[in-house]
Amino acid sequence: MPKATHETPIGGARCARVFSALGDETRLALVARLSTGQPLSIARLAEGRGQSRQSITKHLRVLRHAGVVRGVRQGREHCFELRREAIDDARAALDRLTREWEMALHRLKHMLESEAVPSQEPRRKHKRGTS
């Protein structure tokens, strides 16, 4: 008997890591802050978050492992910037998935409409006591 294979969902393992990394509210907020295009230091990213730099660093590590951000040096500071290509790849995967679902739903609708039985007239109810 052949082994069951488990295919990676649309977008592959890389997109799965991106979606997993973005599934956390703090990491999503960090990505939003980095979406301005300017590299930001850990201290700047921690401002107003009510979280320690250590906590922010852990979240950035997850984002970096997923390929969503990269570290860059600006003078003495270690900053992070968004890797737009990872977000673009994830968006493209969602677009492909959306198209596939739309086509599947269209096929289902067409199948159901083509198999629909024309409605019959409702049966007449006989009044009691009459023949």
Banded pLDDT at 6 (limits 50, 70, 90)? very low
pLDDT of residue 69: 95
The pTM assigned to this predicted structure is: 0.67
- The single-letter code of the amino acid at 67 is G
Catalogue the long-range contacts made by 100-104 (C-beta closer than 8 Å, 24 or more residues apart): 100/10
For residue 122, give both structure tokens: 């409702």
Counts for the chain of helices (H) and strands (E), in that order: 5, 3
Res 27 pLDDT > 90 = yes
Res 40 pLDDT > 90 = yes
41-70: pLDDT as tens digits: 999 999 888 889 899 999 999 999 999 999
